[in-house]
Amino acid sequence: MLIYWAGILTLQVLLFAPSLVEAEEVYGPSNLPQSITSTQDERDGGIVSPKEPVSDLDHPAEHALRSLPAKSDYTVIPIPAFAYNRNEGYWAGGLTPILKANPKGDIEEIWSPEYIYNQKVGHGGSLNYFGYPSDTTQYHALAWYAQRLDQGIDLGYKNLSAGGGRYIFAADVAALKNPFARFFGFGSRTTEAQETNYTSRELLIKLTAGINLTPDLSLMLTERYHNVRVDDGIVVSLPGTARLFPAIPGIEGAQVLGHGLTLRYDTRDSQLIPTKGTYVNVLAEFNQNLQPHEENQWGHTVFDARHLIPHLSDQMVFVSRMLFNGVFGQIERRGTTLGVPFYEQPTLGGEDTLRAFGRSRYIGSWAILANLEERITVLNRKMFDHDIHLEIAPFLDIGRVGQSNVKAEHLFLKNVQFNPGAGIRLLAKPTVVGRFDVAYGRDGANVFVGLDYPF
């Protein structure tokens, strides 16, 4: 659940804020001690600060935290948790992350049982597991249950260097009920007044196998099954999607079988916490809707390019991203348009696209997006024997969706959304990123809390 890292970000306030204030009082804001501002590579390389770092035990908050249960390589941290986003509203509760480190001090496993409350779905809880045995291998297992409708399980495995680095294998299985799903209509001109709510009941199975042609170039085959049913939503203040949009493709559900081929070029220095390099992912996918009386076929293409530029002695990383996502192949039969199900079409909105909007705020037959972000390291330190970094990240998201009949001259000029914002990132190098992003757009402000970088 995304609420998990909201509690971790609360923890960073307790740990980092006292150290920053005291350090600035002693040294001044532009002359922080080397032990705080140096990177891990500098510390490992033997650069020593001429000034002694502030003792951890001088801070009451850290002194209290060090009394928490810790045995061998495990650390237990009970903390409050909170989250908010436009589609779901407020969440509040508590969680107890259990962190397991390897002999080098890197976090390789996280267990996190939690209790949560949301006004719409009531009381609930979840159990989350994340495994990071290496930079190229990850596991996750998430299970959650709330009193009203919000329930699910999500299992995933990825290994980008199996067989001694030659092969790629990945598997994802998810079964869930999401009562917060939204639909506003198609295209970039939709308004908040068109907002509708539905419950998405989904089963998703995705299997990937590939080969690393060179250290930087990979080829992958993906088989995907997506079974969706559309039911009434839980937000009573909004009209139901099926009532206002009874004829849209996919409103009766869908069983989608997809066959994809992906070519990937990746020179980044890390899969989980990259600081430099280039990533380009090109996907071509053929899809079929197996739902009775809704036979349809369409193509799906994605071009996703990212570039990271470190600067200012690697204390800052500028990240740019360009994304194009499109579907094609809608058909008409016996006077009825049998198009791509609306939940299978490209969308913008959410924690990794236009962050000022809720998930799937804009839907169209194509979407184009640019993300610009500056990741600025403001503090480095050891916490519970882990290498912890704090970043701030001002950003700008720019994008729009459209229909296949849009005129070329209108592609970039009309209804483009600009979402400025800023984020706070808590890094447990070399594996874990917790983030808190706030953005502003046409519908107002929005907040996302979650794991991993947005791109």
Strands 444-451 and 432-441: antiparallel
E strand or H helix at 302: strand 296-311
**How far is residue 41 from each of residues 105, 269, 278, 314, 387, measured CA to CA in Å?**
15, 14, 21, 10, 11
396, 354, 347, 351: which is closest to 5 by C-alpha? Answer: 351
Q: What pLDDT, on the 0 to 100 scale, is given for residue 273?
A: 93
Token pair 């094609």 in the structure block, residue: 328
What is the DSSP secondary-structure string of 372-384?
EEEEEEEEEEEET
Q: What pLDDT, on the 0 to 100 scale, is given for residue 418?
A: 96
User: Is pTM, for the whole model, over 0.85?
Assistant: no
Under a CB-based contact definition with an 8 Å cutoff, are residues 420 and 3 in contact?
A: no
248, 212, 267: which is closest to 330 by C-alpha? Answer: 248
Q: How many angstroms separate the CA atoms of 377 and 433, rounded?
A: 13
Under a CB-based contact definition with an 8 Å cutoff, are residues 329 and 338 in contact?
A: no
Under a CB-based contact definition with an 8 Å cutoff, are residues 323 and 304 in contact?
A: yes
Q: What pLDDT, on the 0 to 100 scale, is given for residue 53?
A: 41
Q: Report the sign of the C-alpha dihedral through residues 14, 15, 21, 22, in that order.
A: positive
Token pair 């509760």 in the structure block, residue: 93
Q: How many angstroms separate the CA atoms of 112 and 127, rounded?
A: 6
Q: How many angstroms separate the CA atoms of 183 and 177, rounded?
A: 16
Q: Report the sign of the C-alpha dihedral through residues 74, 274, 378, 450, in that order.
A: negative
List average pLDDT for each run of 10 residues in the chain, which is 455 residues long.
Answer: 50 44 36 35 39 44 49 78 86 91 86 94 96 94 95 97 95 97 93 94 98 97 97 93 93 95 97 96 95 78 98 95 91 55 95 94 95 96 78 97 66 81 92 92 90 91
User: What's at 295, amino acid-wise?
Assistant: E
Tokens representing 373?
A: 């972000």
Question: What are the residues facing 213 on neighbouring strands?
Answer: none
Please say whether the structural domain 134-451 has been given the CATH code 3.40.228.10: no
**How far is residue 278 from each of residues 266, 310, 372, measured CA to CA in Å?**
6, 12, 14
Residues 6+ apart with CB under 8 A from 398: 369, 370, 371, 372, 416, 417, 418, 419
Q: Which residues of 96-111 are buried (b: 16+ CB within 10 A; e: fewer)?
A: bbbbebeeeebbbbbb
Q: What pLDDT, on the 0 to 100 scale, is given for residue 331?
A: 54
